[in-house]
Structure 1
Amino acid sequence: MSRPVTIFTGQWADLPVETMCQKAKQFGYDGLELCTWGDHMEIPKADQAYCDQRLDLLAKYDLKLFAISCHLDGQCVCDPIDQRHKSIASAHVWGDGDPEGVRQRAAEEMVKTAEVAKKLGIDRVVGFTGSPIWHLLYSFPPVSPEMIKEGYADFARRWKPILDEYQSLGVKFCLEAHPTEIAFDIHTAHLALKALNHHSAFGFNFDPSHFGYQHVDYVRFIYEFADRIFHVHMKDAYWSDTPMSVGVFGGHMEFGDNRRYWNFRSLGRGKVNFENIIRALNDIGYNGPLSVEWEDSGMNREHGATEACAFVKKVDFAPSDVAFDDAMQK
């Protein structure tokens, strides 16, 4: 088994989509995970002809498409909306900026994204959900259990109708468990699933980089949600072994500042144990793509994307189909 190695284009959306195809091929990738911003995958324009043109473009460079990603508008479905969201939401989703209107239009956009996935012949949409309760993370002023319960109920009210549409289309939504989302560790991932009554269209995009610096067991996450790992992001992070001047919350510092306790790193240059991740993915039978989400504030991205592709192809391996000591038995 050789899993396809793709690259998520979200950090490359400043480039035209064909330029991204050219570079991905040069870097050594097997395919793309197209983001829904820039001109990479424009949901309002994506009729069948548009989708066919995108597939033809990828085929021109011998690239495959396994998933599209709608992180930015997805964030707006559940969040308390403020001026930050104007910088990430699609213009038609932001509209007049009325918070509830933004949330409703974002929900509609998520359904349209599933329809586009169907036209593309794929069955995975990766993204964020947003969270009505992330701002309650640190429990002061005191946060009651009822407030948290209501937050998950609000998440379910907003996402169940979206997921029903996904289910009818045969498309899965893959939440990238991540700080600021409704699920950001193992416990909150269980809470999200419970709130949705384990909706069959809802699962996870596994990304270990968001767990490592939180000291969450990212390998255990794979085993706990073995039937819900629908997609995988390969991304590394570094965190300090010694106290720093800025802790896990980031101290309002920009990424890359050397005073931070943690930063994202190019694959193989952080602390994530990808050997154990591959073994766990083999154990649960995950055969989908390994999609590089490249982020490293201290490295040229073309150098980083090239070495990341080579790293993933080196670290990946097929599981054994025999017991190693079978040959010693009579």
Structure 2
Amino acid sequence: MARPVTLFTGQWADLPIDHMVKLTSQFGYDGIELACWGDHFEVDKAMSDDSYCTQKRALLEANGLQCLAISAHLVGQAVCDVIDERHKQILPDYVWGDGDPAGVNARAIEELKQTARAAQRFGVDVVNGFTGSSIWHLLYSFPPVSEKMVEDGFKLFAERFNPILDVFGECGVKFALEVHPTEIAFDIYTAQRALEALGNREEFGFNFDPSHLIWQGIDPVEFIRAFPDRIYHVHIKDAIQTLNGKSGILSSHLNFGDPRRGWDFRSPGRGGVNFEEIIRALNVANYQGPLSIEWEDSGMNREFGAAEACSFTKRMDFSPSDRAFDAAFDE
């Protein structure tokens, strides 16, 4: 059976949810992955208004959509990050508060706990998100970075996330980190180290997104093979390297969409990701969850792109065989 194809609303939070669900249905999607910002899924309202989740479900069902995950990337970023003025623009006012860094970290931790409780109320068992990182700025080891500094970063991550994951466990919800630059885990080795820092507890796994791996030179299929039992959710998102002898992989402080960048995101099927091999690897891993399109392409109209991406994803998905191709010779 084909996996449900859903649309992540993180890049559409400028649209009111009533309009967003209608568009998602018109594009041909089976479901929607609601971002916990804008008015798409509001954690505070889900916890304070007993009718909120019921009304949200009714809205989705009226448009023929299911929801299998919600996403808390923005508040998750503030859990482990060194807080600065950038975070004010991505956080709810009640999490930002007075902007005191320690207070922002603490409020973000409590908000992520509440997100697990809200997910339970809403009837989903996966929350996708970020963790932030206190050591991302140490990536290039100069001035020289000691192993203790890196280890302290993973210890801080475990110290802040274990209490969050305790609540996730109580609620029967899993947290799926989108492995991504600026997070505690941004590639295969750091993902393994993050799991180890948490004692490999089952509440913590990954939202697999190949677009953040391919431009780093990492084969996304190898990530699936490394963590077959920890792929809790999948984002379908593409990217491409555009290195031309002038551009660099660190992107030169040029924003997305600038043609001078060394890499950029592309609409699914229009970049460098080999989705054929990803589907085969997901089949081997027995992943049966949604394929959720996170649509980002600065060079394309988003409504055109989202509709095309839905058709592309449904066309390229397939179930594994239930028999060997030469099994007829055994009959």
In the other structure, the counterpart of 2:11 is 11
Aligned-partner residue type, residue 78 of structure 1: C
Within-5 A mapping of 1:67-216: 67-216=69-218
Give, in angstroms, the shift of residue 171 of structure 1: 0.3
Say which SS state the counterpart of residue 264 (structure 1) adopts: strand
Partner of residue 274, structure 2: 273
Deviation string 1:137-183 (CA, Å, 9 cap, x unpaired) is 00001100000000000000000000011011100000000000000
Distance 1:48 1:65 in 2: 19
Question: Are the equivalent residues in 2 in contact too, given 1:74–1:110 (CA < 8 A)?
Answer: yes
SS where residue 77 of structure 1 aligns? Answer: helix
Residue equivalent to 1:289: 290
Identify the residue that residue 33 of structure 1 maps to in structure 2.
33
- Alpha-carbon distance in 2 for matches of 1:149, 1:172: 25
Q: Is the 8 A contact 1:206 1:231 kept in 2?
A: yes
The equivalent of 1:233 in structure 2 is 235
Q: Give the Å deviation of 1:14.
A: 0.5
C-alpha distance in 1, partners of 2:81/2:89?
A: 14
- Per-residue CA distance 1:173-213 (angstroms, 9 max, x = gap): 00000000000000000010010001110000000000000
| d(CA) in 2 for partners of 1:43, 1:184 | 27
Q: Distance in 2 between matches of 1:18 and 1:225?
A: 37
Alignment partner, residue 56 of structure 1:
58
TM-superposed CA distance for 1:250, in Å, is: 1.3
What is the identity, as a one-letter code, of the residue corresponding to 1:11?
Q
CA distance in 1, matches of 2:62, 2:246: 50
The total of aligned residue pairs comes to: 329
1:34-90 CA distance string (max 9 Å, x none): 001100011111133101100000000010000000000110000000000011111
Matching residue of 2:314: 313
Match of 1:300 in 2: 301
The AA in structure 1 aligned to 2:208 is: F
The aligned amino acid for 1:61 is N
Distance 2:50 2:57 in 1: 11
Secondary structure of the 1:205 match is strand
1:1-48 deviations in whole A, cap 9, x for unaligned? 110000000000000101000000110000000001100011111133
Post-superposition CA distance 1:235-271 (Å, at most 9, x none): 000113x544231111111101111111100011000
SS at 2:67's partner residue?
strand
Please tell me the residue identity of whatever aligns with 1:5.
V
Whether contact under 8 Å (1:129, 1:181) holds in the other structure is: yes
Indicate the SS of the match to 2:99: coil
Q: What per-residue deviation string (whole Å, max 9, x for no partner) do you get for residues 104-123 of structure 1?
A: 00000001101111011110
Unaligned runs of 5+ in 1: none
Q: Is the contact between residue 244 and residue 259 of structure 1 (CA under 8 Å) also seen in structure 2? A: no
Normalising by structure 1, what TM-score?
0.99
SS at structure 2 position matched to 1:160: helix
Q: Secondary structure at the match of 1:203?
A: strand
Task: Provide the C-alpha distance between the structure 2 equivalents of 1:34 and 1:171, rounded to a whole number of angstroms.
Answer: 16
Deviation of 1:217 (Å)? 1.8
Aligned to 2:257: 256
Deviations 1:271-298 (A, max 9, x none): 0000000000000100000000000000
Moved over 3 A (4+): none
Q: Percent identity?
A: 60
SS in 2 for 1:76: helix
| TM score, norm. by length of structure 2 | 0.98
What is the alpha-carbon distance in structure 2 between the residues aligned to residue 32 and residue 63 of structure 1?
A: 7
Separation in 2 of the partners of 1:126 and 1:245? 36
2:121 & 2:45 partners in 1: Cα distance? 12
SS of structure 2 residue aligned to 1:256: coil
Letter in 1 for 2:165: L
3-state secondary structure, aligned to 1:48: coil
- Asked whether the equivalents of residues 244 and 260 of structure 1 are also in contact (C-alpha less than 8 Å), the reply is no
**Residue 328 (structure 1) shift:** 1.9
Question: 1:245, 1:167 → 2: CA distance?
Answer: 49
Give SS of 2:251's match: coil
Cα gap change, 1:244 to 1:109, in 2 (>3 Å): farther
